[in-house]
Amino acid sequence: MKNKLFEKYFVFSPYFWLVLFFFIPLAIIFKISVSVSEWGMPPYQDIFLFDNGFEINTTFENYIYIFSDYYYIGSFVNSLILALISTFCCLLIGFPLAFYIATSNIRLRNILLVLVVIPFWSSFLLRVYAWKIILQNNGILNVILLNLGITSEPLQLLYNQYAVIMGIVYTYLPLMILPLYGYLNKFDLNLIEASKDLGLNRIKTFFKVILPLSVPGIVAGSLLVFIPVVGEFIIPEMLGGSDRLYYGKILWEEFFVNRNWPGASALAFSGIIILVLPIVIFQILYSRWSQKNEI
Amino acid sequence: MKSSLIKSIVIFLGLFFLYFPILVLIFYSFNENKRVMVWKGFSLRWYNELFSNEQIIEAFIISIKIAALSATFATILGVMIGYSLVRIRKIPFKSFYIFLSSTPLVLPELILGLSMLLFFISLNNVIGFPSSRGQLTIFISHVTFCIAFVAIIIQARLTDFNKNIEEAAMDLGYNYTKVLYKITLPIILPSIIAGWLLAFTISLDDLVVASFTTGPGANTLPIVVFSKVRLGLSPEVNALSAILMFALIIIGLFYFYFNKKFKH
């Protein structure tokens, strides 16, 4: 029948594209990560050898190499800590903003929402570059600090981990605000009134009513910030110094500088397993749990 | 009132934080001085230099070309995925289908870029194509990770639109194909445009994946800009920023206009 053919066309065109250009590349990363490295081009041996009969030529040495060297583990831990701190800062700034936007009247709400998200549309790279200008030794922030008499000489604000956190919080903030707003927007403002009528003060209302109801938004926003930040390369490269190495940087260098393809692939594949897989599983479990509890 | 004062202050500070760096960038783009941080006077000098900088102009044209093409392909494929997930019951290995269409959203760009590069190299070893990397390989990579963004927008749109309209049209004698082209697609057109705009911006803005999959003659705008500002500041980039921010923000406003339309 014609409908069936039509449906097949719709399902299989993108299916074909994604298997070819997304799934196979991931499989190739895995393949190279278990290949034996050697000098040459490409810098690894084939995993199937047909010299005398058939032989499978794989190794886990690349993984052992990574996981036994503090250089790699330490960088990954640095990235996780960086992502945790940045996510928390985004939440701290994003939550009150999202809450107050969601509780504004409808006209103002839409305008504010657009205003908050619009910077996200302007170039990522250039927004990071803007912080490079602001944090210069003779940049605007130092000028203000000097004129207020807070410091007597310019502070070195750039090229350290704090500048990196600043850049990340700035660029990823809209990703936190949007899902938070999405959930806060849905909930009934009368609940806050009700809890006040029942005698709860502001702080208790926040912790007993507002916060529990916005957990799904907090989870969604935090995931959207946390995962890309762990793999972030540009921001530490532009604003960071040599005080800390991060996962993105060592992956980049392992491939482009050390030309260790199997090592870089093992790093990438470990990243997928440690970072992406738990989150995919978590999301499935979480959606089941929230369906059961009707949140 | 006390609480509304707090509210105004929080919203003001939040917006100030979001817009201050952009304003600083635009302000310094009018600085006459070659040393970016030392203010010498208002001038359009760097805008002139920018428009006579062939490297940047060329990169800009390449970027626009790749972005427009990959957004178009990603939109076609993304609409197909969104439609399939909501309207078509029988999808073989459906959870694998969902995995393929949503994982690019959460995969760090760096891992995606590395996998694409190693894929192109392996493909070249096996079938001799692509013999070198360049605009084509960037295009393929951009389509691959833009599909997911379009699919999510279309899926959301199709989920909350009334299926009865489609069924009514069927009852009136429209066949499957006609319903799709005469009813479904026109209704979700604003979302399709919104998806295209989003994909276009993502492709235009991408540095990491493009750095992995680029080759001779395919320096996109972010690659050129990054090489200029990685170690220092560049007055030409300041001028470029001001123009680009302005253009992208307008695209963003269009996105909101189209994506909002369906809610009424």
Tell me, rounded to whole angstroms, the distance of Cα B257 from its chain centroid: 17
Res. A266: pLDDT tops 90: yes
Whole-model pTM? 0.89
Burial profile A145-164: b = 16 or more Cβ within 10 angstroms, e = fewer: beeeeeeeeeeebbbbbbbb
Domain span including residue B136: 54-261
pLDDT per residue as tens digits for the range B50-105: 888 889 999 999 999 999 999 999 999 999 999 988 888 788 888 888 888 888 88
Beta strands (DSSP E) in chain B are none
8 Å CB contact of A123 and B248: yes
Spatial distance between the Cα atoms of A260 and A61, rounded to a whole number of angstroms: 13
Mean pLDDT over B36-55 rounds to 84
Res. A279 pLDDT band, cuts 50 70 90:
confident
Res. B264 pLDDT band, cuts 50 70 90:
very low
pLDDT per residue as tens digits for the range B130-153: 878 889 999 999 999 999 999 988
Average pLDDT, chain A: 85
Assigned token pair, B185: 């697609």
Using an 8 Å CB-CB cutoff, list chain A residues near B11.
97, 100-101, 112
Spatial distance between the Cα atoms of A101 and A95, rounded to a whole number of angstroms: 10
Nearest to B249 among A11, A42, A122 (CB): A122
Specify if B14 maps to a domain: no
- Amino acid code (one letter) for A104: S
Question: Exposed, middle or buried: residue A109 (CB in 10 Å: 0-12, 13-18, 19+)?
Answer: middle
8 Å CB contact of A24 and B24: no
8 Å CB contact of B80 and A127: no
Specify if B87 maps to a domain: yes
8 Å CB contact of B241 and A123: yes
The pLDDT of residue B70 is 96
Res. A1: pLDDT tops 50: no
Spatial distance between the Cα atoms of B241 and A126, rounded to a whole number of angstroms: 6
Res. A294: pLDDT tops 80: no
Distance from CA of B126 to the nearest CA of A (A): 12
Domains of chain B: total = 1
| H, E, C per residue of A129-163 | HHHHHHCCCCCHHHHHHHHCCCCCCCCCCCCCHHH
Which domains are delineated in chain A? 71-292 (1.10.3720.10)
Q: Check which CATH number belongs to the domain holding B101 and give it.
A: 1.10.3720.10
Specify if B35 maps to a domain: no
